[in-house]
Amino acid sequence: MAQNDGPPTDSTDPVDENPTAGPSSPLDIDELTVVEDPPLLPTREPLRTSFRVLGAIERILGSLLLVLILILVLAQIADRYISGAAPWTGELARLSMVWATFLLAGYLIAYSPHHIAIQVVDYVAKGRRLAFVKLFVNVVILLTCLLLIYGTINLLVTDIGQVTPAGEIPLRFVNAVPLVGFVLVAVRVVLAIVIRDVPALRETNGDSA
């Protein structure tokens, strides 16, 4: 049989010798690093422990409301094939979703890594301008919460004993849950202004001096 006496061919792919070369890894690993802010908690005790307990209560309530929504939706589906005599299940499921949104709003502010956010200003503004923008945003959120707290309290005070049409849940209770959510958000925003925004603005002023 004829043999091939030519020079041996190297079948090794150069990309295999250097895994970081070539189109297989177009991005550096450092570019994918995400820096997460620490939880928004007071620096001193016993306030720090109190806010940790508050966050745990918010997580528990949010989880229970999600489980309740699942049970009510399944019960509503089953009720359509059985009797169709429990319309309050759909109403309570909708209200539970609204309550969970308000009750977890403050928690999401305090634990920002768990909150979905699009950060664009951080790549445009730096230093003092970025600190001022964050302070301005939190002040706007605080003023909005105070306005909504005032409106919700006025709504509760002027309540005439109305109830929901299906479950006959008192509207005073239905409207009280958003009030709690607005208060929790306002407290977290004040905390953010005091322990993050103002110190950051002072540091940038010192750097620019």
Q: Pick 142 or 117 by higher pLDDT.
A: 142
- Domain ranges, ordered by start, for the chain: 43-208
Residue with tokens 């956010």: 117
Task: Count Cα atoms within 13 angstroms, Cβ side, for 187.
Answer: 18
Longest dimension (CA), the chain: 104
What is the model's pLDDT at position 186? 96
In the predicted model, what is the mean pLDDT of residues 128-137? 87
CA–CA dist 47, 172 (Å, integer):
31
CA–CA dist 103, 188 (Å, integer):
12
Residue type, 65: L
Percentage of residues in the chain having pLDDT higher than 70: 75
Residue 98 pLDDT level (bands cut at 50, 70, 90): very high
Q: Name the token pair of 113.
A: 């890594």
In the predicted model, what is the mean pLDDT of residues 172-176? 93
Residue with tokens 């570019």: 31
